[in-house]
Amino acid sequence: MTLTISVLLASDAKESYVAFRVLCKTKRSRTPGKIKSQKREEEEFQDFAVGSKLPAMPRLRHRHRHRRAAYPPKIFIRLSLFLAFILCLHPASASNMGVNWGTQASHPLPPHKVVQMLKDNGIKRVKLFDADDSALKVLTGTDIEVIVAIPNNMLQQIADTDSGAADSWVTRKIVHYAFEGGVKFKYVAVGNEPFLTSYNGTFLNLTFPALQNIQNALNNANLGDKIRATVPMNADVLENSALPSQGTFRNDSAQQMKQILALLHQNKCPFTINIYPFISLANSGNFPLNYVFFDSTIVQVQDGANAYANTFDASYDTLVAALANEGYPSMPIIVGEIGWPTNGFPAATPKNAQKFNQGFLNHVQENVGTPRRPNTIIEYYLFSLLDEDQKSIDPGNFERHWGIFAYDGTAKYSLVVPGASNNAVNNSAGGTLVNATGVEYLARKWCVVANDTNLASLADSVSYACANSDCTELGFGSSCNNVLDAKGNASYGFNQYFQMKNQEMGSCNFKGLASVTETDPSVDGCKFIVQIVASPAQRTQLLDMTSVMGVNGKENGDWD
């Protein structure tokens, strides 16, 4: 965990990036290994040459229920013609915007404030990564459709049919809340990217039996026709292919995938896929930049009669082809995660995030579908609603910065939400996004390097502070990189620790090297935060967490 002062406080951006990559790693993870570890820090920030040779292909419509009309034939025909005319004037509305609500944050917003923020922004769908009662209670009585989840670490228990764990879980987490006026459940996500290659097959033989047991439990509770199970898959379940039409599932999971697809089809369940054009870009220095966005008309991939000018359509259709090859050409598809981070990588900026997310929203709102599934309404969930400062950064520093809102519910950029009003009240970023309201902050004070401090004495203290907080914004290509000097870098680390510790007495000392100020030290897009107030339970968790993360048994900034 320790670093030499020459590296930690280096003025060279890439040297300091290497240092802080080491400092900020943590074992807490939701989906480790989404991409390859950033292994070429010296080569990472390259020009993304438009028109460069593309790498292999990167790795989803609402079901409509039809009712027989109870009209006499002539009246029905006239009504049909009238409705057709109206639909020509007003095309069918696209899928409502969904978001992923993750909670791997040291100071998560209170659930009731998050739900109010969803309402204020006209967000009608939310996808969770667990089934926490605190979230389900505040979602009760709302009109928000909910995907609730079973984490990967529960798959072994749920897969055990004899234990009755699946029936028990459905009773406690679904039936208990699925009363009239309760939680508007839509799907149960069984695991999250369980076939991820970095898991080395850990969940390969657990996913299908867990999925089967959950769907059977839903059916036995007479809820299976309303609430269906699905498995969110990472795009790496697909083999690399040069063209979308060549899409196939990986050989190492082919048998298990056949079982899953058959069960999904039998129960009219959707296939859920996570698509990340950003990761395609981050993984390849020569990936065409305009191919990840939606404003280019330049065809990058010609696949027979189908032309592709953006990565999303190509990725989606690769899955469509893979499903068709398995005998399910019409299986419903959900885009479980898609988004763009705002920090932690040279291309991860608010400007690019706004461009990608708004471009994607506009794209799906047009209902044009994709070349292999034209005129299709795509159901999707943006990743993510809020930043999460406790996520693993093994894939990259950007992992903690996917939110369209910052940690405190403040909009990062303008985003026109489909179906929402144009009310931009309480939104500093403009557009239609509405900030969280009634957020309680700690006192407006910060921890910085004390005056007349010898910079040569800072290394161990800053190393400790960053190891026990989040310093990813100091990394190469991040918002504070090349903005702060050596003293500013140290102050940033001290303040992150100070806020993580809820500004507790003694957490801004560091052997006399730090002091508290009421003057905001933020500069040029590098924000020194003031943390939000944590609940008593969260404060206890933070104490436990920082004690475990602490270096040499030391637990706060007042160490010898």
Per residue in 321-347, pLDDT tens? 999 999 999 999 999 999 999 999 999
> ∠ CA 105-532-546 to the nearest 5 degrees?
50
- pLDDT value of position 233: 99
pLDDT band with cut points at 50, 70 and 90 for residue 12: very low
Of 4-18, 276-290, 308-322, 524-538, which range is least confident? 4-18
> Which residues make up the CATH 3.20.20.80 domain(s) of the chain?
95-400
Per residue in 117-176, pLDDT tens? 999 999 999 999 999 999 999 999 999 999 999 999 999 999 999 999 999 999 999 999
- pLDDT value of position 432: 81
- pLDDT value of position 5: 32
- Region 217-243: what's the mean pLDDT? 98
- pLDDT value of position 75: 41
- pLDDT value of position 278: 98
Our answer to whether residue 193 is catalytic in this structure is yes
> ∠ CA 402-250-306 to the nearest 5 degrees?
75
The span from the CA of 332 to the CA of 25, in Å, is 38
CATH class for domain 95-400?
A: alpha beta
Per residue in 76-89, pLDDT tens? 334 444 444 433 33
- pLDDT value of position 535: 76
Q: Please check whether residue 415 is in contact with residue 361, taking contact to mean a CB–CB distance below 8 angstroms.
A: yes
- pLDDT value of position 541: 63
For residue 427, pLDDT over 80 is answered with no
Provide, rounded to the nearest whole percent, the portion of the chain with pLDDT above 90: 74
More confident residue, 170 or 540: 170
The span from the CA of 333 to the CA of 53, in Å, is 29
- pLDDT value of position 534: 84
Instruction: Dump strand ranges (E) for 383-435.
Output: none
pLDDT band with cut points at 50, 70 and 90 for residue 544: low
- pLDDT value of position 291: 96
Q: Which of 193, 388, 399, 473 is catalytic?
A: 193
CA distances from 334 to 104, 225, 271 (A): 23, 18, 6
Q: Which of 41, 239, 326, 337 is catalytic?
A: 337
Instruction: Dump strand ranges (E) for 313-387.
Output: 333-338, 369-370, 373-374, 379-382
- pLDDT value of position 94: 56
Q: What is the DSSP string of 235-285?
A: GGGBPPBSSGGG--B-GGGHHHHHHHHHHHHHTTPPEEEE--HHHHHHH-T
CA distances from 135 to 109, 126, 140, 535 (A): 11, 11, 9, 15
- Region 417-429: what's the mean pLDDT? 59
- pLDDT value of position 312: 98
Our answer to whether residue 388 is catalytic in this structure is no
Among the listed residues 335, 249, 346, the one whose alpha carbon sits nearest the alpha carbon of residue 45:
346
For residue 498, pLDDT over 60 is answered with yes
The span from the CA of 465 to the CA of 511, in Å, is 12
The span from the CA of 300 to the CA of 312, in Å, is 12
What residues pair up with 185 in beta bridges, in sequence order? 146
- Region 24-30: what's the mean pLDDT? 39
More confident residue, 291 or 80: 291
For residue 209, pLDDT over 60 is answered with yes
Looking at residue 310, what DSSP letter applies? S
CA distances from 156 to 26, 199, 471 (A): 24, 14, 35
More confident residue, 259 or 68: 259
The span from the CA of 149 to the CA of 171, in Å, is 14
Q: Please check whether residue 356 is in contact with residue 277, taking contact to mean a CB–CB distance below 8 angstroms.
A: yes
Provide, rounded to the nearest whole percent, the portion of the chain with pLDDT above 70: 76
Whether the upstream peptide bond of residue 384 has omega within 30° of 0, thus cis, is yes
Among the listed residues 102, 216, 135, 206, the one whose alpha carbon sits nearest the alpha carbon of residue 170:
216
More confident residue, 18 or 471: 471
For residue 56, pLDDT over 80 is answered with no
Q: Please check whether residue 416 is in contact with residue 427, taking contact to mean a CB–CB distance below 8 angstroms.
A: no
3-state SS class at 3: coil
